[in-house]
Amino acid sequence: MATSETSICNLANGIIGIGRISDINGTTSVERDCKAIFAHARREVLGSYQWSFARKQALLARASASPIIDSNNGGYDYAYVLPSDCVAPVKLSDPKTEYSLVGDTIHCNLEEDVYLHYTADITDAAKFTEKFINALAHRLAAQLALMVKKDKKLSQETWDLFHALLPRLEQDDAQNDNNPIELSNPYVDARSV
């Protein structure tokens, strides 16, 4: 069976013990709940780690307006427009270059040929890896436990499971790399504070 948004929602539903849906675009309350949270959850899980299937790079276009605060005042001299499918920037072509995200732009002091390595918003479920599908299903299940079952305890347990599972799935995904990019993980970092 091909992976689809509906099949991923059904994995999430199985985690928390609710019935399967026929179509994420359907009209039942569970189908509408799945549809309402799917895109947000997908972008959140994509942005949590540089998943191997979602890596891209792009030459950035200079923004029409320069940064408000220039480098003489602690800011940056140039602004570049993020790719429209960018969920999370990873690094610039010069990885030592500091930058700041401001809305849909990156401010930095690189003057030309600025390439961005980033995690893209992949919407085609057929391109998702099994590890990403597992993470996304657990993320969806945590929210659906509260929305559909109205069960705060199950929701919290599922969130905890998602946060515990994510580092292992990321580590497994990184096994596909012979030159992984070191990144911090906001979920792991938050727990270690």
Whether 31 maps to a domain, the answer reads yes
Check residue 178 and give its pLDDT.
53
In this structure, the answer to whether residues 46 and 60 fall within a common structural domain is no
* Residue-range definition of the domain harbouring residue 14: 5-51+129-191
Last residue of one domain, picked from the residues 85, 119, 153: 119
Whether 169 maps to a domain, the answer reads yes
pLDDT of 22 above 90: yes
pLDDT digits (tens, 9 = 90+) for 47-74: 998 899 999 999 999 998 888 887 888 8
Whether 27 maps to a domain, the answer reads yes
In this structure, the answer to whether residues 43 and 66 fall within a common structural domain is no
Whether 38 maps to a domain, the answer reads yes
pLDDT of 13 above 70: yes
Check residue 188 and give its pLDDT.
39
- Mean pLDDT across 99-124: 93
In this structure, the answer to whether residues 109 and 59 fall within a common structural domain is yes
One DSSP character per residue, the chain reads ----HHHHHHHHHHHHT----S-TTSSSHHHHHHHHHHHHHHHHHHHTS--GGGEEEEEPEEPSS--SS-GGGTS-SEEEEPPTTEEEEEEESSTT--EEEETTEEEES--S--EEEEEE----GGG--HHHHHHHHHHHHHHHHHHTS--HHHHHHHHHHHHHHHHHHHHHHHTT-SSPPP---HHHHHHT-
pTM of the full structure = 0.82
- High-pLDDT (> 90) share of the chain, %: 71
Last residue of one domain, picked from the residues 63, 90, 119: 119
pLDDT digits (tens, 9 = 90+) for 158-186: 999 999 988 887 788 777 665 544 444 44
In this structure, the answer to whether residues 14 and 61 fall within a common structural domain is no
In this structure, the answer to whether residues 12 and 27 fall within a common structural domain is yes
Whether 124 maps to a domain, the answer reads no
In this structure, the answer to whether residues 134 and 47 fall within a common structural domain is yes
Last residue of one domain, picked from the residues 93, 119, 145: 119
Residue of 41 and 74 predicted with greater confidence: 41
In this structure, the answer to whether residues 45 and 136 fall within a common structural domain is yes
Number of domains in the chain: 2
In this structure, the answer to whether residues 135 and 167 fall within a common structural domain is yes
In this structure, the answer to whether residues 73 and 25 fall within a common structural domain is no
In this structure, the answer to whether residues 134 and 181 fall within a common structural domain is yes
- Mean pLDDT across 140-153: 94
pLDDT of 156 above 60: yes
